[in-house]
């Protein structure tokens, strides 16, 4: 059996690792080193010149990090991957790689708050413009393209509104105009959605979230469909900007990745049970979840996602004060701004993750004062439902 024929559930456990090369160690070793010695000066020269493959310095390559990258490329069906010290380091690297002064980036109308901030910095300092559109049809995307547009940056599902973007439509337009497509796949993970198979050029993750799954690592990952281009990014943007991951964090991600499939199944099944409960509550106005048949882009979700995942957004009747009081009455469910952990987390996007977005633009994205985002964890669903119920009732 070849690795090419392995199922994803097996890839996350075995891909890229040969224990016989590491003294039979069942677990991937942690190479906690900053540099590597050469056999002689001539070997050092050959490696620096590129005439010989081999390790030089851990900012340029590390065996533990390389195993993580190999496994992520296999999961996303890509040709190369890079691990970074944060999700935003991965976002920064790909946008710096793709743009130059005077270029334009076309974005889905909702993106992570810090990505929004980065694009603002790039526009202010380097005159790289950006615009947000809904991307509902190919015609809408076509109309938004300018001569300066070089890439389309997409989040789907969108944080935190759970709106969806039709990736096939985006790819179709991009190919007609020779544009690059970047997809933030954090909310879905490679287990639920594979943008590279649809035709995107790059997919990225805040690996802090579902890839790790245990709330103890800050990391980012970038996967591309061109091995040579990924190597170019490694030896230019990543090397010189320096947003690398530590070997220990890479080791933790390898460990977390082994349980990604079963975790995603539990996140999803718990989310479905919580949605059924939320639909019974008069306090809840709207629920946003990709695999909910009432979701306006349900057909898109079914076409490009394996399941709905563990993120739910919903609006509570009233405004910011009602939302805040509800959050404060929760006990088991923790108020925190991350997602994808074993613990169930809840937050108020308007005043937390997206507080840096100007109110007018935030409202255009659909992030109202009554919107709440719930990252469903791995606890027993009955206990989570009980906590939500008492928070609704104990007013």
Give the active site residues.
59, 112, 184, 209
* CA distance to 175, 272, 339, per residue, from 201 (Å): 10, 32, 25
Which residue is it, tokens 């809408």?
140
């Amino acid at each position: 059996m070849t690795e090419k024929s392995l199922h994803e559930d097996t890839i996350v456990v075995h891909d890229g690792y040969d224990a016989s090369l590491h003294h039979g160690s069942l677990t991937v070793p942690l190479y906690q080193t900053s540099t590597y010695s050469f056999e002689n000066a001539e070997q050092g020269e050959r490696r620096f010149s590129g005439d010989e493959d081999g390790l030089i310095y851990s900012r340029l390559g590390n065996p533990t990090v390389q195993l993580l990258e190999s496994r992520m490329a296999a999961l996303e069906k890509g040709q190369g991957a890079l691990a970074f010290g944060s999700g935003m380091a991965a976002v920064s690297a790909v946008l710096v790689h793709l743009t130059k002064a005077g270029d334009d980036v076309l974005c889905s109308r909702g993106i992570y708050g810090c990505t929004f901030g980065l694009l603002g910095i790039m526009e202010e300092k380097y005159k790289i413009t950006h615009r947000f559109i809904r991307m509902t049809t190919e015609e809408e995307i076509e109309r938004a393209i300018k001569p300066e547009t070089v890439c389309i940056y997409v989040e789907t599902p969108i944080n935190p509104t759970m709106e969806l973007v039709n990736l096939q439509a985006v790819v179709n337009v991009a190919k007609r105009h020779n544009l690059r497509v970047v997809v933030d796949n954090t909310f879905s993970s490679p287990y639920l959605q594979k943008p590279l198979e649809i035709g995107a050029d790059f997919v990225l993750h805040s690996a802090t979230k579902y890839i790790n799954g245990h709330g103890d690592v800050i990391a980012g990952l970038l996967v591309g469909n061109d091995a040579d281009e990924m190597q170019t990014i490694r030896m230019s943007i990543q090397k010189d900007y320096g947003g690398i991951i530590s070997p220990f964090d890479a080791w933790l991600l390898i460990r977390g990745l082994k349980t990604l499939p079963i975790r995603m199944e539990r996140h999803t099944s718990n989310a479905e049970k919580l949605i059924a409960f939320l639909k019974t509550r008069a306090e809840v106005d709207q629920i946003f979840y990709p695999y909910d048949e009432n979701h306006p882009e349900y057909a898109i979700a079914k076409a490009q996602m394996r399941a709905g995942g563990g993120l739910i957004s919903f609006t509570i009747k009233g405004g910011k004060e009602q939302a805040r009081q509800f959050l404060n009455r929760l006990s088991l469910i923790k108020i925190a701004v991350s997602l994808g952990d074993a613990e169930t987390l809840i937050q108020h996007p308007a005043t937390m993750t997206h507080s840096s977005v100007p109110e007018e633009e935030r409202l255009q994205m659909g992030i109202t004062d009554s919107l709440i985002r719930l990252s469903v964890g791995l606890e027993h669903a009955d206990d989570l439902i009980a906590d939500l119920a008492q928070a609704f009732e104990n007013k």
